[in-house]
């Protein structure tokens, strides 16, 4: 899940970007910037339904945020949340770096999907890292956009839906609270790419730990295990064909037992 909150870091940063560059129509600007930059960084579709920030208090909320899966995975969203609370230090909105005191993401939904070539979160992570490592600035629309400092970022009450080839249904496991402190505080703040990278890394590690704690052996559900399944399935099919052509009643039973053995039943 390493770059999962990709849009998150971007999203957060763009809040500050919007405040810094345009003090007028802030909410619409932030929403458009989040979608543009998030999509660019993750190479997927990032959407945000609503932004509601009060410049007088520095407090606000972002609602209906989602990041679609990368190509090669299901149509599920890799990450989504209904609402995130944000508190800005309004004394820094015209400064560089802009300081965000707190971000609280409550109850986000994360999909951890495995395929033969890795997971959706690993791929998102690679996409964000390639953007961060390219030295290119995100297309935020202004070369003078400030860096960001995030004093506290919380990811609470989250669940991880695990999807793998040999699972008949999604397995839901709880994700422990993630708390990141003082992002960008060493130095002159962090760029959107750097923040996205840190957040995604923390989310991916959290998801991996959650899956491990649930004692789900993903290694047995993907890759080489799939090759074994295909072989056993072919053998079983041949055995059943032999059985139905008079090769003996025990052959079909042997095929069934082989499949059950593979699945640990």
Residue range 233-256, pLDDT digits in tens:
455 555 555 555 555 555 555 544
The conformational region for residue 27 under phi > 0 = left, psi -120 to 50 = alpha, else beta, is alpha
Are residues 54 and 103 located together in one domain of the fold?
yes
Q: Considering the domain boundaries, does residue 1 fall inside one?
A: no
Residue 53 structure tokens: 């920030």
The pLDDT > 70 percentage for the chain reads 65
Instruction: State the average pLDDT over residues 94-108.
Output: 89
Lowest mean pLDDT among 100-104, 120-124, 200-204, 251-255: 251-255
- How sure is the predictor about 54, in pLDDT bands with cuts at 50, 70 and 90? confident
- Residue 203 has a pLDDT of 86
Look at residue 140 and tell me whether its pLDDT is greater than 50: no
Q: Considering the domain boundaries, does residue 218 fall inside one?
A: no
Are residues 152 and 252 located together in one domain of the fold?
no
Cα separation, 221 vs 207, whole angstroms = 17
Question: Could you give the number of structural domains in the chain?
Answer: 2
- Residue 259 has a pLDDT of 42
Helical segments of 182-248, H only: 192-213, 224-242
Look at residue 225 and tell me whether its pLDDT is greater than 50: no
- Residue 190 has a pLDDT of 87
- Residue 232 has a pLDDT of 47
Look at residue 21 and tell me whether its pLDDT is greater than 90: no
Are residues 34 and 119 located together in one domain of the fold?
yes
- Residue 144 has a pLDDT of 57
CB 77 within 8 A of CB 90: no
Residue 253 structure tokens: 């039973």
The residue range of the domain holding 252 is: 223-262
Are residues 61 and 164 located together in one domain of the fold?
yes
Instruction: From 190, 213, 236, give the residue that closes a domain.
Output: 213
CB 62 within 8 A of CB 33: no
Are residues 131 and 205 located together in one domain of the fold?
yes
Are residues 147 and 34 located together in one domain of the fold?
yes
**Inter-CA distances, 91 with 52, 58, 181, 187, Å:** 19, 9, 20, 19
Burial degree of 194 (CB within 10 A; 0-12, 13-18, 19+): middle
Are residues 199 and 231 located together in one domain of the fold?
no
The mean pLDDT value of the chain amounts to 75
- Strand, coil or helix: 238: helix
């Amino acid at each position: 899940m390493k770059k999962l909150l990709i849009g998150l870091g971007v999203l957060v940063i763009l809040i500050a970007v919007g405040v810094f560059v345009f003090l007028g129509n802030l909410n619409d600007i932030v929403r458009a910037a989040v979608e543009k930059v998030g999509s660019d960084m993750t190479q997927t579709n990032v959407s945000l339904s609503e932004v509601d920030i009060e410049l007088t208090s520095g407090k606000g909320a972002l609602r209906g945020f989602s990041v679609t899966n990368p190509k090669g995975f299901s149509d599920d969203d890799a990450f989504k949340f209904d609402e995130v609370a944000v508190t800005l230090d309004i004394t820094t909105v015209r400064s560089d770096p802009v300081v965000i005191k707190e971000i609280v993401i409550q109850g986000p939904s994360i999909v951890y999907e495995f395929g033969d070539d890795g997971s959706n979160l690993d791929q998102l992570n690679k996409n964000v890292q390639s953007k961060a490592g390219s030295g290119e600035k995100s297309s935020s629309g202004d070369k003078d956009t400030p860096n960001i400092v995030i004093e506290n970022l919380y990811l609470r009450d989250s669940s991880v839906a695990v999807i793998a080839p040999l699972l008949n249904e999604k397995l839901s496991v709880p994700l422990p609270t993630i708390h990141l402190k003082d992002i960008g505080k060493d130095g002159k703040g962090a760029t959107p790419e750097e923040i996205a990278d840190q957040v995604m890394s923390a989310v991916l590690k959290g998801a991996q730990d959650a899956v491990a704690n649930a004692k789900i052996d993903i290694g047995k559900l993907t890759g080489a295990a799939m090759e074994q399944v295909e072989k056993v399935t072919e053998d079983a099919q041949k055995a059943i064909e032999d059985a139905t052509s008079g090769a003996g009643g025990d052959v079909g039973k042997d095929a069934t037992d082989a499949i059950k053995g593979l699945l640990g039943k």
